[in-house]
Amino acid sequence: MSGEAAAAYTAEGDTVARERFADHFDGNEIGVELSATAATGSFAPLWLTANRNGLASVRRASAYQRAYIIRPMDADSARRWRLGYGLDVAVAEGHERIGIVEQAYIEAAWKKLHVTIGSKILPLETHSSELTSGDLSMGINAQPIPQIRLDVDWFTFPGTKGWWKWKLYGSYGLTTDGLWQQRWAAPQTRYTRHTLYHEKGLFWRFGRSEVFPLTYEIGLRMATQFGGTTYNTRSLRIGGGELMTFKHGHGLKAFWQALICQGSDETDVTDPNTAGNTIGSYVMQLRYHGRRWQATAYWERMFEDQSMLTVQYGIRDMLIGGEVRPPRNPYVSSAVVEYLTSTDQSGAVYHDRTATIRDKMNGRDDYYNHNLYAGWQNYGHGIGNPLITSPLYNDVFGHANTLSFYNNRVKALHLGIAGDPSAEWHWRVMASITWNWGTYTTPLPEPAMRQDYFLAEATYRPRWARRCSARLGLGLDHGRILGNSFGAQLTLKYAIR
């Protein structure tokens, strides 16, 4: 090959390489967002704050400015390798934090394998992210935790011709709220730093919607907080109840124990439990895939550690709900109804084995709480269902700036409805009626104390400014837990591309 031909060949190769590189930047979603909330009560109404991935503040007056660039992997749908990334940051005022890194991740997929590195907002497995009250174990109420996650997307079990499909995932991560916990927690109250995180799940799907319109899914999800250091905790078994610091294992053994749900904590002494704070849930859903109507019935049962992992203590706590999507019309596009109960918690009695009592009773599960870790929360927002009151509201229980859940025994009825009157308008309303008992250890002054939460929200996307949208939400809380509050939230968004 002559020198001129070689140079032409090299230039052509460079051009192709640049085009392929540029292709991976096509499809970017770039935008900015400004939101402000104002309310009359001690806190902003719950549904102006909850299930927003930790971005909204519970305070009565707050605001944030947000900027993001996201490249979804759908932009590479025609390619064997699919790449994506996202950076989503905000600066807040009147918030628990000033600077917020909401998302920061890169991801890649090949066939059924999908790897994500960083913190990314993920959709709920079974519920409508817009209308649900929330997931019991791993929901959308708190900011996502940075993780290295491997997903294996739906694949057909051999010999079933698509009638039986599997999906599974696993991840390890590191929580980033340790310094915030240290600064926020009241003196001599428990907090943790450098806590590690593990999550895994397995799902089965039965049915082929293209052949028969019903499919059934069942899954098991589990997550564990482990490792890190616990400060200002008490143990009657060690130290006689004095405030102590415990540094937990973080080596390969700790990672393995989190994976197989084994090991023990320093405070277990002669009665080993399971290392770290483990939580999980069984989920099931039955879907109707009609040509005009779609409907889903779903059920979730949460468990803490080994209690309620089987049906030994009965099935009394659960989230059960359904969603209906009618044919396209200008009135209602989706409706959700749910019932939540978390009052049993394996019963009111708990004790370990002793020399005289050989049977162990696994009651008082104390959902979302743990004696070493700062509860099932991230930056003060509960990671699970927000109707189980998050630590950010602990002022009302007389435990300001403590990282525990003082109201985890709840019954609730929840309704959500959304509609699209036109291409420019979208609306949703939600109403939650709750009865609250506190916890077994710290019950409320009266049983079944009432607290109700309401939201009415409308979004306008003008035809003359397709890249702009405005959303106005009106929230109302009424009751004896978080008190009475009326508030408004205005959010303006501009999509640069």
The tens digit of pLDDT for each residue in 136-153 reads 999 999 999 999 999 999
* Strand ranges in 290-349 using DSSP code E only, listed in sequence order: 294-304, 318-325, 334-341
With bands split at pLDDT 50, 70 and 90, how would you rate the model's confidence at 10?
very low
* 235 confidence band (pLDDT: 50, 70, 90): confident
**Residue 182 reports pLDDT greater than 70:** yes
- In this prediction, residue 315 carries a pLDDT of 85
What is the distance between the alpha carbons of residues 172 and 177, in angstroms, rounded to a whole number? 16
In which band, very low, low, confident or very high, does the pLDDT at 271 lie, cut at 50, 70 and 90?
Answer: low
Q: Among 23-37, 413-427, 431-445, which is the least confidently predicted range?
A: 23-37
Task: Report percent pLDDT > 70 for the chain.
Answer: 89
**In the predicted model, is pLDDT for residue 6 greater than 50?**
no
Check whether 80 has a pLDDT greater than 50: yes
Contact 274, 264 (CB under 8 A): yes
Bridge-based pairing state of the strands 425-436 and 410-419: antiparallel
- Bridge partner list, 495: 31
Confidence at residue 363, expressed as pLDDT on a 0 to 100 scale:
66
Q: What tokens does 81 get?
A: 């390798």
Q: Which residue has the higher pLDDT, 455 or 12?
A: 455
Query: Buried (b) or exposed (e) across 132-143, using 16+ Cβ within 10 A?
Result: bbbbbbbbbbbb
Q: Residue range 415-426: average pLDDT?
A: 97
Residue 18: per-residue pLDDT:
47
Nearest CA-CA partner of 117 in 128, 97, 103, 127? 103
- The reported pLDDT for the residue numbered 8 is 46
Distance between CA atoms of residues 135 and 441, nearest Å? 24
Q: Which two tokens stand for residue 424?
A: 């420019």
Helix (H, G, I), strand (E, B) or coil at 74: helix
CATH number, domain containing residue 456? 2.40.160.130
Q: 160-174, 278-292, 338-352 — which is least confidently predicted?
A: 338-352
Q: Residue 115 belongs to what domain range?
A: 3-495
Question: According to the model, what pLDDT value does residue 23 have?
Answer: 52
Statement: residue 3 has pLDDT above 70: no
The residue among 35, 6, 23 whose CA lies nearest residue 473 is 35
Percent of the chain whose pLDDT exceeds 90: 77
Q: For residue 272, what pLDDT is reported? A: 66
Reported as a single tens digit per residue, the pLDDT across 278-326 is: 999 999 999 999 999 999 999 999 998 676 777 777 788 999 999 999 9
The C-alpha atoms of residue 277 and residue 121 are separated, in whole angstroms, by 22
Domain count across the chain: 1
d(CA 432, CA 350): 31
